[in-house]
Amino acid sequence: MASGLRIGHPRMGLSTALGGGQTTLVVYKKAKDFEVGNKVVVTINEGGGGLGVITAVNSDSYDVNLGKKFERIMKDKMGGSLLAVLPFFGVLFGVIGL
């Protein structure tokens, strides 16, 4: 999108009272630098996207809490900063395989 906003459908990661990452759509903004505590969208090595919180900043990667596990994510696999979570819309995308 022209404003830098993007919409994603994560496959895993943190959950809210309204459901897990796989049942949501997320709105995020592409960014280059992150700090500890930032909520982010990342590309997971196992494929697909995930929602997480940065727990440590390293020279070439970030340590990200994905809810049930921690992952070290390389800087080029960082999607962006989380702006909004749209619960339940991800269910529709999951049904049609997106």
Tens of pLDDT along 24-82? 778 889 888 899 999 998 888 666 778 889 999 999 999 999 888 888 989 988 888 88
Neighbours of 4 (CB within 10 A): 10
User: What is the second-level CATH architecture of the domain 5-93?
Assistant: Roll (2.30)
Q: pLDDT digit string (tens) for 86-95?
A: 776 555 555 5
d(Cα 15, Cα 20) in Å, to the nearest integer?
4
Per-domain residue ranges of the chain: 5-93
